[in-house]
Amino acid sequence: MAGAGGGEGRGRFAGLAVVVVGYGSSGLLSANLAPLTRTLPGAITVVVDNRTTDDERDRMRALAADQGWLLVEPDSNLGFGPGMNVGAAVALEAGADALLLLNPDATIAPDEVATLLAVVRADADALVAPRILRPDGSVWFDGSDLHLGDGRISATRKRGELGVRDAELWLSGACLMLSAELWQRVGGFGDGYFLYWEDVELSYRARRAGARVLVVPEATAVHAEGGTQGAGHERSGEAKSEMYYYFNIRNRLVFAARNLDSSSVRRWRRASVPIAYEVLLQGGRRQFLRPVAPLRAAFRGVRDGLRASRTSLS
């Protein structure tokens, strides 16, 4: 671990830690994170640099040293959730009492951070997220629903249109804030996910630990989706990576096996194929002109999800 905690003196952000997990993200962090952390006096910044190349690690070391960030250097790629757990542990050891979990391809202004922090300071049992926009100004996230009946995901704003009755709100890990106390009570992100659905589980378990889970509409962030996977700034309806399809399809059943009773797991398993198709449709229909990669990812995701959930039925 290299670097030192950030900020000159103590300010209104004292006690806050910004925790970011990167993967080949030095360019994104220089553009997105550095301008933010320079304007958060008193805050700590922890960056977990999941292993890519020696050159990238050297760039991250130089950037972290220049910005005064705490840098954690795993020998391999831990994934998002486990990486965040490592970074949060460093932040708590450094004295943080609130955590802002942020993607490298997300940006948020200091005043928006302050709005989220005020909610968490007023209620240590609050798990909060801002409205998140795409770079073009369209809504990327303003609350998502988990349908407990079959494991579908839909935007909370569509509850009335879809007639949803069995949904629970969950918050995107792209930009998320909570108290250190709540983080420790929930136990951080669950293992076994690598990417995707760990934020669904965090929200689900936080609520069961007595937390309020809410979007703070007065706060806004921007997320250039796909930047952390080297796919550029994906727009809604554009083809996504095989990794996106695979883990979103697989991890739905990992979540079920870890959190639901056997009858619910059976219902989720029966819906696996149609829901896998719905996940693929998030990337638009044009990708099916060359269907090998998305269909391969979907097949593997369904297969491995069914395997992962089988043990919960015994």
Give the least confident one: 75-79, 168-172, 194-198, 229-233: 229-233
Residue pair 21/33 in contact (Cβ under 8 Å)? The answer is: no
Share of the chain above pLDDT 90, in %: 79
Strand order in the sheet with 153-155: 153-155, 144-147, 167-170
- Mean pLDDT, residues 194-208 taken together: 96
**pLDDT value at residue 179:** 98
Who wins on pLDDT, 97 or 240? 97
Band the pLDDT of 313: cuts 50, 70, 90: confident
| DSSP structure class, residue 119 | H
Residue 264 identity (one-letter amino acid): S
Residue 236 has pLDDT above 90, yes or no: no
How confident is the prediction for the chain on average, in pLDDT?
90
Distances in whole angstroms, Cα of residue 120 to Cα of each of 6, 13, 21: 21, 12, 22
Task: Give strand pairing partners of 131.
Answer: 220
**pLDDT value at residue 259:** 96
**pLDDT value at residue 4:** 42
Residues 227, 136: Cα–Cα separation, whole Å:
15
pTM of the model: 0.90
Give the least confident one: 63-77, 149-163, 203-217, 249-263: 149-163
Residue pair 119/216 in contact (Cβ under 8 Å)? The answer is: yes
Distances in whole angstroms, Cα of residue 89 to Cα of each of 79, 188, 208, 236: 16, 9, 22, 34
Helix H or strand E segment including 177: strand 175-179
Residues 44, 37: Cα–Cα separation, whole Å:
8
Q: Which residue has the tokens 């965090």?
A: 202
Render pLDDT for 83-115 as a digit per residue (tens, 0 to 9): 999 999 999 999 999 999 999 999 999 999 999
Token digits of residue 176? 């998320």
**pLDDT value at residue 226:** 58
Closest CA to 47 of 15, 68, 20: 20
For 229, half-sphere exposure in the C-beta direction (CA atoms, 13 angstrom radius) is: 16
Render pLDDT for 12-51 as a digit per residue (tens, 0 to 9): 899 999 999 999 999 999 999 999 999 999 999 999 999 9
| DSSP structure class, residue 156 | G
- Mean pLDDT, residues 140-165 taken together: 88
Residue 271 has pLDDT above 90, yes or no: yes
**pLDDT value at residue 3:** 47
Render pLDDT for 221-234 as a digit per residue (tens, 0 to 9): 999 865 554 333 34
**pLDDT value at residue 284:** 82
**pLDDT value at residue 229:** 44
Q: Which residue has the tokens 């096996």?
A: 257
